[in-house]
Amino acid sequence: MIDAPTFLLFLSGAFLLNITPGPDMAFTLASAMRGGARAGAAAAIGIGAGSLVWAGLTAAGLAALIASSQQALTLIRIAGGAYLIFLAVQTYRHRHEAFESAATAGAASAFRTGLITNLLNPKVGVFFLAFVPIFLDPAAGPVWVQALLLGAVFSASGAAVLVGVALAAGGLRARLGASPAWIKRLRMASAAMFGGLGLGLLLSRSH
């Protein structure tokens, strides 16, 4: 299996990448502002589950096939961007509504949204193809097992970081959310973040 120094190097790199602000962190923040800490944490776990699926596809060699097809990348990218813009529109439409209670925040829906958003972002698959193979060693055992293990570790560490972000954002939301004016501002901020992520995905080019 993977030797300890290589694994520690991978773990360090994964942690640095996970704490770097990016689309996943922005999505988690938007989800927490929209539905609270519980929904934000569920979205973060959904993102981690999506990354785990990409890790499995990478280990199976399917991600390489997807990455080699520009048409497949484009279709996934358009679907992902359209889905994020749909979320932006829905959030904006409900900007005047009261925040959901903890019992009705929709953790299952937030998890599903995080999962779908991650799976519809082809850049995640391309990232796994670029980052994980650096640490693979054919002499250390089956490469697919190593890829799956490293992908699972990266997904779990990323989800843990994002859950922390969701809890912090949810706590801030709970303090500011008593006022209808703050409810509107937070929802509009969430809508802007969802819309920005969606437009960024639609206007980007997958390589």
pLDDT value at residue 80: 82
Q: For residue 85, give the nearest of 203, 206, 185, 199 by alpha carbon.
A: 199
pLDDT value at residue 101: 43
Measured distance CA(24)–CA(158) in Å, rounded: 9
Measured distance CA(99)–CA(89) in Å, rounded: 17
Answer yes or no: is 90 within a domain. Answer: yes
Per-block mean pLDDT, blocks of 10 residues, the chain (207 long): 85 88 87 87 95 90 74 82 86 67 64 92 83 84 88 94 93 72 76 86 70
Answer yes or no: is 10 within a domain. Answer: no
pLDDT value at residue 28: 92
Rg (CA), the chain: 18
Domain count, the chain: 1
The string over 18-51, giving b where at least 16 C-beta atoms fall within 10 Å of a residue's C-beta and e elsewhere, is: beeeebbbbbbbbbbbbbbbbbbbbbbbbbbbbb
pLDDT value at residue 104: 42
Answer yes or no: is 156 within a domain. Answer: yes
Residue 2 carries which DSSP code?
-
pLDDT value at residue 168: 92
Answer yes or no: is 18 within a domain. Answer: no
Answer yes or no: is 135 within a domain. Answer: yes
Answer yes or no: is 40 within a domain. Answer: yes
For residue 35, the enclosing domain spans 24-203
Answer yes or no: is 47 within a domain. Answer: yes
Answer yes or no: is 120 within a domain. Answer: yes
